[in-house]
Amino acid sequence: MPLDEHHQLGDASGEGFVSDSSSEHRATLLVVDDEPAVRRVLVMRLQLAGYRVVCAEDGEEALSLFHKEQPDLVVLDVMLPKLDGFAVCRRLRAESCVPIIFLSALDAIAERVAGLDLGADDYLPKPFSPKELEARIATILRRVGRGSAGNEPRDVPAGQGVLRVGDLVVDTNRRQVTRDGERIGLTYTEFSLLELLFREPGRVVPRAEILEQLWGYPPRRAADLRVVDVYVARLRGKLEPDPRNPELILTVRGTGYASQRMGETGAIPAAS
């Protein structure tokens, strides 16, 4: 079993829905894994942590359940029958900004980068501790709140009004970025990274600090910091006129990243 703790599985089947009269008050998680033992353990642990859990054992079932249940977060194995996890993630990202955590027995840097490049919010290699998965789920849900599966950003108070960054308008209340009136689609993690870097323009933010602030855990190995690099590259690709010669988000070699200093960047009043 690709988990690094021993568990008593009890009667938890790991399949289908959790029927509970209070489920409407709980976040819903979609767990997608083709190993029944893994599903049973995760359902048991995540139910005990207070979540409502629905399960799928292949990629096609995952997409069907996603559209039916509109979960608040997806835990997605990479190696799946019918459609693999990468294909499922690509389909979900075409229509939704729901948080996605990849699980994979493949811990190669290339695999992790590929998953994050598709827009996943985190990547946990197998074998993993269910406690670590619970912690990462809780961190992401605290950051994005409930109802993250929809296309439109929710009104989450996450900053002080509206900022102008060069030719970009960053609305920190609605968590939207526009250029010349055209909205730029950012995931919740990408927006949180943008907000962190521009909170104190010009300050160098170490990669380890970014990892802890956005993903909730300190780097334990060099591969963990690649998560930050991948997301900075994604953000530059969406915001910079020339991502190879960035002007908004600058690299400080050996340390981390810094946003441009206030010059062309300034605060503007939030719309009422």
What is the predicted pLDDT for the residue at 175? 80
Nearest to 145 by CA among 191, 104, 180, 98: 98
CATH superfamily of 23-144: Response regulator (3.40.50.2300)
Mean pLDDT is lowest, of 22-31, 73-82, 185-194, 223-232, for 22-31
Determine the topology of domain 162-268 in CATH. Arc Repressor Mutant, subunit A (1.10.10)
The 8-class DSSP code of residue 75 comes to E
Intervals of CATH 3.40.50.2300 along the chain: 23-144
On the question of pLDDT at 164 being above 50, the answer is yes
- Most confidently predicted of 53-57, 154-158, 225-229, 252-256: 53-57
User: Which residues make up the CATH 1.10.10.10 domain(s) of the chain?
Assistant: 162-268
| Structural tokens at position 49 | 């942590």
Q: Is 23 exposed, middle or buried (0-12, 13-18, 19+ CB in 10 A)?
A: middle
Overall pTM > 0.85? no
pLDDT at 230 over 80: yes
183-220 per-position pLDDT tens digit: 888 877 888 899 899 888 889 999 999 988 887 777 77
pLDDT at 88 over 90: yes
- The answer to whether residue 118 scores a pLDDT higher than 90 is no
Tens of pLDDT, residue by residue over 130-140, are: 898 998 899 88
Better pLDDT: 98 or 267: 98
Helix (H, G, I), strand (E, B) or coil at 177: strand
With a cut of 70, say whether residue 40 has pLDDT above it: yes
**Dist CA 26 CA 110 (whole Å):** 35
